[in-house]
Amino acid sequence: MTSTPSDAKGPNLEQGVVLEPRPWVPLGVIALGLGCLLLNLWAALGVCLFGLFLLVQSQILRLQFSAEALLVWRGESVLRSFPYSAWLGWKLFWGPVPVLFYFREQQSIHLLPVLFDATSLREQLNRHISAQP
């Protein structure tokens, strides 16, 4: 878990738990793209570009578990807020190496790559949201 100084704008530990970025999923996608070089140059390029996009996102975005909602930060601004009261359930796919995070709200479904510390993500989800599908 990480935080920024409390005098800085953006997420900090006083507002809740901020997850550390983990580049393993984006690096795995890039490695898969490099492996695709044996099959098709264009497919390899597409997969590698997607992996680079995920790598940049893992460094730019921050997930914060506040008292009332999961907040998605980009720099100093909150991009989205997901109130826990609207959640119906969640799941991390591929247990030993979680790569996908699914959660469902009353009005929508979300499927996201795991770009953050999966252990802390699971701990915070268990702490804040009791219902799982």
Query: Residues with Cβ < 8 Å from 42, sequence gap 6 or more?
Result: none
Residue 4 pLDDT grade (very low, low, confident, very high; cuts 50, 70, 90): very low
Lowest mean pLDDT of 2-16, 50-64, 85-99, name the range.
2-16
pTM: 0.81
Class assignment of domain 17-128? mainly beta
Token digits for 34? 């490099």
**CA atoms 23, 129, 18, 9: torsion sign:** positive
Q: Is the pLDDT of residue 7 over 60?
A: no
Mean pLDDT of 59-86: 94
